[in-house]
Amino acid sequence: MLARVRRLLRDNRGFTLIEMIVVVIILGLLAGLVAPKLFSRVGQSKQVAARAQIELLSAALDQYSLDVGSYPSSLDGLIRSTGAAGWSGPYLKKNAIPLDPWNHAYNYKCCPGEHGDFDLWSDGADGRPGGEGENADVASWTIK
């Protein structure tokens, strides 16, 4: 009986160094495969957030236009009176023009814009026109 207990104690010494290395390698491979997928989702979510903000700003611009009869010359007209008759703002809840998800100001061209009554866009993560992926522009005329 005593020999059996000694054998059980000797067989349950823990993990070997080789077993630990194999586990660390497997975890590293899994992290290497999963992490890029997760980080690409962050860029996509910022693109979606920019589209949503542009839609909300466009709705505020349309409301301004309904009240005043024209679009403001700058986005500041949504939060501060331009002196135009009929202005009943502020047209944004937080009383401030939001920055895009990459902390850049939205671009606005009005009266008319090149793609409609006004153009409202973000230059993406790089802050420059054009680009692909997270650097791609998000524009009011491409949102449907």
Burial of 63 (0-12, 13-18, 19+ CB in 10 A): middle
Instruction: Please give the Cα distance from 81 to 90 (Å, whole number).
Output: 8
32/21 Cα distance (integer angstroms):
16
Q: Tokens 């949102």 label which residue?
A: 143
pLDDT in tens, 98-131: 999 999 999 999 888 788 889 999 988 888 888 8
Q: What is the largest CA-CA distance in the chain?
A: 100
For residue 51, name the pLDDT band (cuts at 50, 70, 90).
very high
Most confident of 36-40, 53-57, 93-97: 53-57
Map out the domains of the chain as residue ranges: 45-139
Give the CATH H-level superfamily of domain 45-139.
Answer: Glycoprotein, Type 4 Pilin (3.30.700.10)
